[in-house]
Structure 1
Amino acid sequence: MIDKNDWRITNQENYLKNKELIYAHYKPYSSKWDHDHCAFCNDTFSEYGSDLHEGYCTLDHYYWICSNCFNDFKDMFKWKVVNE
């Protein structure tokens, strides 16, 4: 069980608690963006070489969560994975 004082938790409960998520190939939220970060550990999602290319995201593709953080926090945040 993840400690509620884990360094990666920084008020995400205000915008990610009980959210529906999808597992998706990364695509930028805005045409002006070329990357995003995991909402917890700050790992980079992009279409570039060594960055993450897939992960969990909110239905609007605004918030991204890497697989490691998803597995660590899925119970605490009560996420529901859906098919889009």
Structure 2
Amino acid sequence: MTPFGKDDWRLHDQERYLHGATLHPAPRRLAVPDACYDGHCEFCWEPIAGGDRLDAASEAYATHRGDRWVCSRCFEDFKSLFAWVVANAV
């Protein structure tokens, strides 16, 4: 069971669209090399970016359509609470 509860500052009704979601591991190296910004973590808003951006997450998880991202830290923190299924790498 996760130590993070409903009072965690990162939780803002994401269960509406991410509970039980299938997420795909999306290492940064697979991002478009010239992209400066691909998105942000749905929980902590850490940038998810391609290229050499230093403030971006090095690994993340994405929904099948790539419209929702979760950084690896938030994934580990919330995977049980959100009952995520991990698909094969993209």
- TM-score, normalised to structure 1, is 0.84
* Residue in 1 that maps onto 2:53: 49
* CA root-mean-square deviation: 1.7
**In 2: Cα distance, 1:59 partner to 1:46 partner:** 17
In the alignment, structure 2 segments of 5+ residues that lack a partner are none
Overall identity of the aligned pairs, in %? 36
**In 1: Cα distance, 2:85 partner to 2:78 partner:** 12
**In 2: Cα distance, 1:54 partner to 1:5 partner:** 26
Q: Deviations over 1:14-55 (max 9, x none)?
A: 000000001013547xxxx83311000000011142112431
Aligned to 1:67, which of 59, 69, 72? 72
* Residue in 2 that maps onto 1:3: 5
Q: CA deviation at 1:59?
A: 0.8
In the alignment, structure 1 segments of 5+ residues that lack a partner are none
Amino acid at match of 1:74: K
- TM-score, normalised to structure 2, is 0.79
Q: CA deviation at 1:3?
A: 1.4
* Residue in 1 that maps onto 2:27: 25
